[in-house]
Amino acid sequence: MPSINALAETAGLVGDPARAAMLAALMDGRALTAGELATIAGIAAPTASGHLAKLTAAGLLAVERQGRHRYHRLASPGVARMLEGLMAVAEIARPNRLPTGPRDAAMRAARTCYDHLAGQLAVALADAMVARGVLELGPDGGAVTPAGLGFLETLGIALPRPGGGRVFCRPCLDWSERRPHVAGQLGAALCTRCLDLGWVRRRRDGEAGGRPGGRTLLVTPEGARGFREAFGVTVPASV
């Protein structure tokens, strides 16, 4: 169990506005350079480098080198889960305000939570899978039913093998919807498949407030049809 000092240190690192902005920017699972993160946080490059060094030393970020560039990403799904939970608690805790999640309607509709789907779309898919008996989702974990194996196969999703230190399937409290969506290996596989099928795509830079590395996902016409036919979920196309 971590010591009280370690807990306080981690909370202090996340609590700085600039560091919080950079961590939130990495919630889509991709890696960004120090310069990109400095722009997002609205701080100078040397200041960003100091913040990033502290986050890396604390195990919250990992650094990947490619040629002359250094890319920063969240160190693990556990870090992303911590941030998503803090976002939900922070919204609830704000006084005299009904928590409604992100102001951006497109981000609330569909986004990534590190490597899995989040937002209204993700919660609807989780509800549909449970209602159809293909997924059992409890407070602390989840499991694919025998019927679910065939369902995933029809979607072209190879069932991830448990192991590797990663939880196979678990509920993740959605920041904006306050209800669970599917995370873990299964959640990541579902997100990847939806992107591969072209059912959702990332919002492009400059497109309705989009930016590189943003979390927002847009549902394509093919996706609106696919989600309706495969899951029985009606979701309007956003592109």
Predicted local distance difference test score (pLDDT) of residue 47: 93
Residue 237 placed within a domain: no
Same domain for 104 and 221:
yes
Residue 42 placed within a domain: yes
Residue 205 placed within a domain: yes
**pLDDT tens, position by position, 169-205:** 889 888 888 889 999 999 999 999 999 999 999 887 6
Same domain for 164 and 60:
no
Predicted local distance difference test score (pLDDT) of residue 93: 58
Predicted local distance difference test score (pLDDT) of residue 177: 85
**What are the two backbone dihedrals, phi and then psi, of residue 145, each rounded to the nearest 5 degrees?**
-80, 165
Predicted local distance difference test score (pLDDT) of residue 231: 96
Residue 46: which domain range? 4-75
Predicted local distance difference test score (pLDDT) of residue 107: 86
Residue 90 placed within a domain: no
Tokens in use for 171?
């509920």
Residue 85 placed within a domain: no
Residue 12 placed within a domain: yes
The number of beta carbons lying within 10 Å of the beta carbon of residue 55 is 26
Say how many domains are in the chain.
2
For the chain, list residues with pLDDT below 70. 1-2, 91-103, 160-166, 205-213
Same domain for 209 and 108:
yes
Residue 68 placed within a domain: yes
Predicted local distance difference test score (pLDDT) of residue 239: 75
**pLDDT tens, position by position, 141-174:** 889 999 999 999 999 998 766 555 668 888 988 8
Same domain for 66 and 144:
no
Residue 236 placed within a domain: no
Predicted local distance difference test score (pLDDT) of residue 103: 64
- Longest CA–CA span in the chain (Å) reads 54
Predicted local distance difference test score (pLDDT) of residue 206: 61
Predicted local distance difference test score (pLDDT) of residue 160: 63
Same domain for 187 and 139:
yes
Predicted local distance difference test score (pLDDT) of residue 165: 60
Domain of residue 40, CATH code: 1.10.10.10
